[in-house]
Amino acid sequence: MNSRSASALGEPLKRRPEQELPAPALAAAGRRLEGKVAIVTGASRGIGRAVAERLVEEGANVVITGRTEDALVEAVAQMPDGRAVAVAGRSQDPEHRATAVATAVERFGAVDVLVANAGINPVYGPLVDLDLQAASKVHDVNVLATLGWVQEAWRAGLGDRPGANVLVMSSVTGSVPSPGIGWYGVTKAAVAHLAVTLAAELGPRVRVNALAPAVITTRFAKALYEGREEEVAAAYPMGRLGRPEDVGAAAAYLCSDDAAWVSGQVLGIDGGLLAAGGTA
Residues that bind ligand NAP (CB under 6 A): 42-48, 65-68, 71, 90-92, 117-120, 141, 169, 171, 213, 215-216, 218-221
Give the phi and the psi of residue 168 in degrees, each rounded to 5.
-115, 160
Nearer to ligand NAP, 119 or 278 (CB): 119
Contact between residue 258 and residue 165 where contact means Cβ atoms under 8 Å apart: no
Q: Which of 51, 38, 25 is nearest to 169 (CA)?
A: 51
User: Bridge partners of 212?
Assistant: 268
Contact between residue 188 and residue 245 where contact means Cβ atoms under 8 Å apart: no
Minimal distance, residue 194 CB to ligand NAP, in Å: 13
| d(C-alpha 129, C-alpha 135), whole Å | 11
Of 124, 184, 225, 236, which one is the catalytic site residue? 184
Minimal distance, residue 268 CB to ligand NAP, in Å: 10
Query: 256-261 long-range CB contacts below 8 Å, 24 or more apart?
Result: 256/32, 256/33, 256/58, 256/163, 257/32, 257/163, 258/32, 259/165, 259/207, 259/209, 260/163, 260/207
The answer to whether 184 is a known catalytic residue is yes
Nearer to ligand NAP, 4 or 219 (CB): 219
Minimal distance, residue 239 CB to ligand NAP, in Å: 17
Minimal distance, residue 259 CB to ligand NAP, in Å: 19
Nearer to ligand NAP, 111 or 247 (CB): 247
Which secondary-structure segment (H or E) carries 195? helix 182-202
* Residues noted as catalytic: 184
